[in-house]
């Protein structure tokens, strides 16, 4: 199952945000890291819906090693916490 790398920015004492280097403009947030991570699949779903409305698909995720080699992302990976978000999310209702 594909996994998108999320960069967690925990710099605001009142909120945590995370963003996806492979998905420009796709962000999630919450009061704490757990809530931001819990909201991340919903952010991915909304982003995927917006792309689909334009006749496009989510781009394939890059690996962590590929992102570490990308100059526009390497510093963020080094200075922030990273999480892997599965897409599509596992269905836990069954």
19-75: pLDDT as tens digits: 999 999 999 999 999 999 999 999 999 999 999 999 999 999 999 999 999 999 999
Residue 76 to residue 89: CA distance in whole angstroms: 25
Architecture of domain 3-86: 2-Layer Sandwich (3.30)
For residue 6, count CB atoms less than 10 angstroms from its CB and return exposed for 0-12, middle for 13-18, buried for 19 or more.
buried
The residue among 73, 17, 15, 14 whose CA lies nearest residue 43 is: 17
Instruction: Report the pLDDT value the prediction gives residue 21, as an integer from 0 to 100.
Output: 97
């Amino acid at each position: 199952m594909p996994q998108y790398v999320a960069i967690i920015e925990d710099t605001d004492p009142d909120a945590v945000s995370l963003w996806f280097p492979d998905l420009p403009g796709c962000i999630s947030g919450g009061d704490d890291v757990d809530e931001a991570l819990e909201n991340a699949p919903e952010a991915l779903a909304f982003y995927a819906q917006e792309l689909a409305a334009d006749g496009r698909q989510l781009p394939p995720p890059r690996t962590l090693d590929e992102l570490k080699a990308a100059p526009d992302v390497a510093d963020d990976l080094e200075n922030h916490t990273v999480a892997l978000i599965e897409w599509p999310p596992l269905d836990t209702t069954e």
